Amino acid sequence: MTVEIGNFIGGKWVKPASGKYGESLNPACTTDVVARYPLSGREDVDRAVEASRKAYAGWRLTPAPRRGEILFRAAEMLLGRKDELGKLVTREMGKVLPEGLGDVQEAVDLAYYMAGEGRRLIGETTPSELPDKDCKSIRVPHGVFALITPWNFPIAIPSWKIFSALICGNTAVFKPSSDAPLCAVRLVEILEEAGLPPGVLNLVAGEGELVGESLVQHDGIDGISFTGSCAVGEKLESLAARRHRPIAVEMGGKNAIMIMDDADLDLALEGVLWGGFGTAGQRCTAASRIVVHEGVHDRFLEMLVNAARRLSLGDGLKKETDVGPLINERGLKKVLDYIRIGREEGAYLQIGGGRAAEGTLAEGYFVEPTIFSRVSPEMRIAQEEIFGPVVSVIRCCSFEEGVRLVNGTRFGLSASIYTGNANLAAKAEREIETGLVYINASTIGAEIQLPFGGFKHSGSGHPEVGGRMGAIDFFSRIKTIYRDYSGRLQKAQIEVP
Ligand code: NAD
């Protein structure tokens, strides 16, 4: 069934000013049109920003614990509808159902966490150097946020941004990906039902260049949170800089798993399969480079190729499916282009390498799980984000060389090391230049109570999601207050005994 969705502005579901709609397709079966979404324009953005500004006056003064209660109710509702929403995630963007359910669970976890944060939002108090004076720093909201999200975590990523922005007292205009707009709508409906006042959260769907850029450049926007590709994120950073707006960008990755010669290879194999082929490789933290010590390289490669051969491709709603489709035709073409580039560069294609189109697979955007060996670090397939089920295996001859390879791209999001040596694990933790480092685990598996963000070209360098040091620090501003109750002019630094 196709659902026609609207924009959500000032507490009402409305049609776009253009009257035009785009289509969101099920990537496992492209004749299944999941939703018709508004192709919005500047006029819709203006109205949404105006509604957010109006609502901000009341929302910023709503006690944070009360804001938290709304999020708590949303958490309960998300949990109650987890099964339905998980299936929608799978239908709209293709990941296998257990991952679709995980997407929703992440939103549940975050909603509970941020509901609790409503009773903390902790600042600091310190003694003053002067008598009869006290000082403190408090958190205050920024104002209206533009929240721009990708399609690959269509419930989780919007939740990271929305719940964190709202608990801090901001209002927001949310621009979801056109590849997963129905998931976004369901999330907003839940917040509406949980009691969010009109205008606190607005949704405007449409094409990124028009809706996203209009939002980022809008005079009524006070801060921007973007997750998506490097090309778009870097452009938005420069637009925001001209207006002195705080912006957080979480972008791509070229994540590596390092396997030492003392590693538990069975454990590492599970981690590589999960990191490389989970979500069909369409995670910012996907493991697309596997750096293997020469002592175990050949054995591990054989284990990996044999295991990848057994992965079953298909619709993520089917129990037997391990790997779902790519998101759209553009994604499919990009991945097939990289496979061609890898062959031209001289990497050895161990397995896969083509579109999978037998039987019902022809209805969707499926690519065979693909493994290249004999990959050298300067090849494009070892340097650029592919965003598909393509894994490059790179040989290394020492821990030091392995770390150099892991660090040798412009990205710095996630990395992992498999080793039985506690000292090497500790050194890896120190030397690897990524925002997330895993020891004896895959490159994916972040938890919501800790900051999540990339180094180098993977992000703006200050995580905007996860925990207090990530989300709360980004979505609130610090105001420092000095209160002098001495009744006379006291001069700091000057009145020294
Ligand atoms: P994308 O950059 O194409 O789109 C992301 C969002 O930005 C969408 O809502 C899109 O409509 C909007 N957009 C597109 N062009 C725009 C413009 N000119 N101005 C403003 N907004 C614009 O990315 P995608 O294909 O949706 O997602 C995949 C990318 O996201 C990958 O690179 C992946 O690594 C990255 N990602 C990063 C993280 C992270 O936390 N680091 C998480 C998930 C995905």
Q: Measured at the alpha carbon of residue 444, what is the angle toward residues 442 and 449, in degrees to the nearest 5?
A: 125
23/34 Cα distance (integer angstroms): 7
List per-residue pLDDT tens for the chain, 497 residues long.
Answer: 999 999 999 999 999 999 999 999 999 999 999 999 999 999 999 999 999 999 999 999 999 999 999 999 999 999 999 999 999 999 999 999 999 999 999 999 999 999 999 999 999 999 999 999 999 999 999 999 999 999 999 999 999 999 999 999 999 999 999 999 999 999 999 999 999 999 999 999 999 999 999 999 999 999 999 999 999 999 999 999 999 999 999 999 999 999 999 999 999 999 999 999 999 999 999 999 999 999 999 999 999 999 999 999 999 999 999 999 999 999 999 999 999 999 999 999 999 999 999 999 999 999 999 999 999 999 999 999 999 999 999 999 999 999 999 999 999 999 999 999 999 999 999 999 999 999 999 999 999 999 999 999 999 878 888 777 789 999 999 999 999 999 999 999 998 88
First to last CA, the chain: 78
Find out whether the beta carbon of 151 lies less than 6 Å from any atom of ligand 1.
yes
β partners of residue 418: 259
List C-alpha distances in Å: 422 to 28, 270, 371: 43, 20, 30
Topology, domain 255-439: Aldehyde Dehydrogenase; Chain A, domain 2 (3.40.309)
Q: What is the identity of the amino acid at 268?
A: A
Is residue 217 lining ligand 1, measured as CB closer than 6 Å?
A: no
The answer, yes or no, to whether any atom of ligand 1 lies below 6 A from the CB of 214, is no
- Fold type of domain 3-251+459-482: Aldehyde Dehydrogenase; Chain A, domain 1 (3.40.605)
User: Could you tell me the distance, in angstroms and rounded to a whole number, from the CA of residue 342 to the centre of ligand 1?
Assistant: 24
Give the separation between CA 36 and CA 22, rounded to whole angstroms. Answer: 5
- Estimate the crossing angle of helix 181-193 against helix 64-80, to 10 degrees: 120
For the four alpha carbons of 215, 218, 224 and 226, in that order, the dihedral sign comes to: positive
Residues 297, 72 contacting (CB under 8 angstroms): no
Strand partners, 481: 136
| Cα 269 from Cα 157, distance rounded (Å) | 28
- How far away, in angstroms, is 250 Cα from ligand 1 center? 9
250 counts as catalytic? yes
Residue nearest to atom 32 of ligand 1 (CA): 229
Domain boundaries defined on the chain: 3-251+459-482, 255-439
Q: For residue 38, give the nearest of 171, 166, 154, 184 by alpha carbon.
A: 184
Q: What angle do CA 406, 327, 461 make, to 5 degrees?
A: 40
Alpha helices in 356-477 (DSSP H): 380-383, 399-407, 422-431, 473-475
Report the alpha-carbon distance of residue 456 to residue 251 in Å, rounded: 10
Q: Is 451 in the pocket of ligand 1 (CB under 6 A)?
A: no
Q: Cα–Cα distance between 470 and 450 in angstroms, integer?
A: 7
Query: For the chain, how long is the longest CA-to-CA vector?
Result: 86
Contact 182, 176 (CB under 8 A): no
pTM tops 0.85, yes or no: yes
Phi first, then psi, for residue 301 (nearest 5°) are -60, -45
Strands 455-456 and 124-127: unpaired
Q: State both tokens at 230.
A: 């490097």
The DSSP string of 139-199 is EEE-SEEEEE--SSSTTHHHHHHHHHHHHTT-EEEEE--TTSHHHHHHHHHHHHHTTPPTT
Chain-centroid distance of CA 225 in Å reads: 11
